């Protein structure tokens, strides 16, 4: 298990370095950063002054090294637009996004896994069809539309929940449902397919031959084996939610990191964009790493050679 963990950790570090290099190069791919900062009407000497001030005249690798060492210390420079340290700017927004992500993936898992198991236990019955219907709905409905429907019903008509803002827990209910429902169908169908496959396995028959109850067969013997690919999928979904909840954050005016990314891209605020790309990628890397560990724990064939 230790060797496995170290191997995966090494891989994660390698991917992180590659991603950091890419996100740093972004600065130079979008043209001359000095003129971007100076603005359209700046004189050539102003641009030169800015270039010297930010150190854009130094060799690329030196700048990258600088940026990376600062980033490791949590210093991503100044935001061009917000005129404040990027790290402070992000820290605030990130806590909202992370909370939303955790709620979203929990909602997705808590609905998708039981529904998938139930569907697999009674294939082609009403339960199965209902589960399929729910999942197809989730896939067919665009998040922004579903979000608006919820706002119309629960905020405007019933006046139960606030339509926007991020002041209290009530603000997170609808965004959680919208975000979670988006991730739910894939998890549900993977759980169902995995369970159906596993339920046909010989060791399930062995468990029944021992006299195990149906619940024990389902949850102890089947689900443990069926859930391995689900963990990997959930990790990717989680990374996606933390980086890509732009739509949901916009509808509900939750000013999180996704919303910030959209703002920064629109305003050419490169240090913020760089930092966000690095952080979003880090989320993916960390979740993939964690899901690898979880799978190794679930499936001894991965961890014990």
Partner 1 sequence: MSDPILSVHDLTIDIPMGQGTMHAVRGIGFDLKRGETLCIVGESGSGKSLTSLAIMGLLPKNLKRAASRLEFARIDLQHQKPRQMRDLRGNRMAMIFQEPMTSLNPAYTIGDQLEEAYLLHNKTGRAEARARAVALLGKVGITAAESRLSQYPHQLSGGLRQRVMIAMALMCAPELIIADEPTTALDVTIQAQILRLLADLQREMNMAMILVTHDLGVVARIADKVAVMYAGEVVEQGTAQEIFRHPRHPYTRGLLRCIPVPGKTKPGEHLGSIPGIVPSLIGRMEGCAFRTRCDVAEAACASAVPERHTETGHAWRCIHENEGHENEGRVPA
Residue from the set 208, 236, 244, 262 that interacts with partner 1 by CB under 8 A: 208
Residue 185-204 contact track with partner 1, rule CB under 8 A, x = bound: ----------------xxx-
221 makes contact with partner 1 (CB under 8 A) = yes
Burial class of residue 119 (count of CB atoms within 10 Å of its CB; 0-12, 13-18, 19+): buried
| Phi and psi angles of residue 292, each rounded to the nearest 5 degrees, phi first | -60, -45
105 makes contact with partner 1 (CB under 8 A) = no
| Contact (CB, 8 A) for 269 and 81 | yes
Dihedral (C-alpha) 108, 111, 116, 121: value to the nearest 10 degrees?
160
Spacing of C-alpha 166 from chain mean position: 19
Closest CA to 135 of 198, 193, 176: 193
Place of tokens 């198991």: 117
3 makes contact with partner 1 (CB under 8 A) = no
**Per-residue tokens: 244:** 């890509």
Binding span for partner 1 by CB under 8 A among 27-35, 39-47, 172-180, 218-226 = 218-226
Closest CA to 76 of 64, 67, 66: 67
In the complex with partner 1, which residue's Cβ is closer, 12 or 198? 198
In the complex with partner 1, which residue's Cβ is closer, 141 or 212? 212
Measured distance CA(63)–CA(59) in Å, rounded: 6
299 makes contact with partner 1 (CB under 8 A) = yes
Least CB distance to partner 1 at residue 115 (A)? 21
Least CB distance to partner 1 at residue 297 (A)? 10
* Chain residues 239-298 in contact with partner 1, contact rule CB under 8 A: 298
Least CB distance to partner 1 at residue 10 (A)? 25
Least CB distance to partner 1 at residue 125 (A)? 12
Cross-strand partners of 85: 78
| Contact (CB, 8 A) for 172 and 99 | yes
In the complex with partner 1, which residue's Cβ is closer, 26 or 302? 302
113 makes contact with partner 1 (CB under 8 A) = no
233 makes contact with partner 1 (CB under 8 A) = no
List of residues contacting partner 1 (CB under 8 A): 201-203, 205-214, 221, 224-225, 298-301, 304
């Amino acid at each position: 298990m230790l060797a496995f963990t170290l191997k995966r950790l090494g891989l994660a570090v390698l991917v992180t370095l590659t991603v950091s290099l890419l996100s740093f190069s972004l600065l130079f791919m979008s043209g001359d950063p000095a003129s971007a900062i100076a603005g359209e009407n700046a004189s050539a000497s102003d641009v030169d002054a800015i270039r010297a001030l930010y150190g854009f005249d130094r060799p690329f690798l030196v700048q990258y090294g600088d940026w990376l060492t600062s980033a490791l210390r949590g210093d991503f420079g100044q935001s061009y637009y917000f005129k404040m340290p990027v790290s402070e700017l992000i820290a605030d927004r990130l806590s909202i996004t992370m909370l939303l992500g955790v709620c979203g993936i929990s909602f997705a898992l808590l609905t998708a896994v039981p529904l998938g198991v139930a569907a697999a236990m009674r294939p082609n019955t009403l339960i199965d069809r209902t589960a399929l219907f729910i999942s197809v709905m989730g896939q067919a409905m665009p998040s922004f539309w579903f979000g608006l429907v919820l706002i119309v019903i629960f905020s405007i008509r019933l006046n139960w929940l606030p339509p926007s803002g991020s002041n209290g827990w009530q603000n997170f209910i609808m965004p959680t449902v919208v975000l979670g429902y988006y991730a739910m169908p894939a998890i549900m169908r993977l759980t169902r397919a995995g369970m159906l496959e596993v339920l046909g396995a010989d060791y399930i028959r062995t468990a029944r031959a021992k006299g195990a109850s149906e619940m024990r067969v389902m949850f102890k013997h089947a689900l443990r084996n069926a859930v391995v690919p689900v963990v990997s999928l959930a990790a990717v979904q989680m990374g996606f939610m933390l980086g890509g909840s732009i739509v949901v954050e916009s509808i509900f005016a939750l000013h999180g990191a996704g919303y910030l990314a959209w703002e920064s891209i629109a305003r050419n605020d490169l240090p913020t964009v760089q930092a966000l790309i690095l952080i979003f990628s880090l989320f993916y890397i960390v979740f993939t790493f964690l899901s690898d560990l979880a799978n190794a724990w679930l499936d001894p064939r991965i961890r014990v050679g």
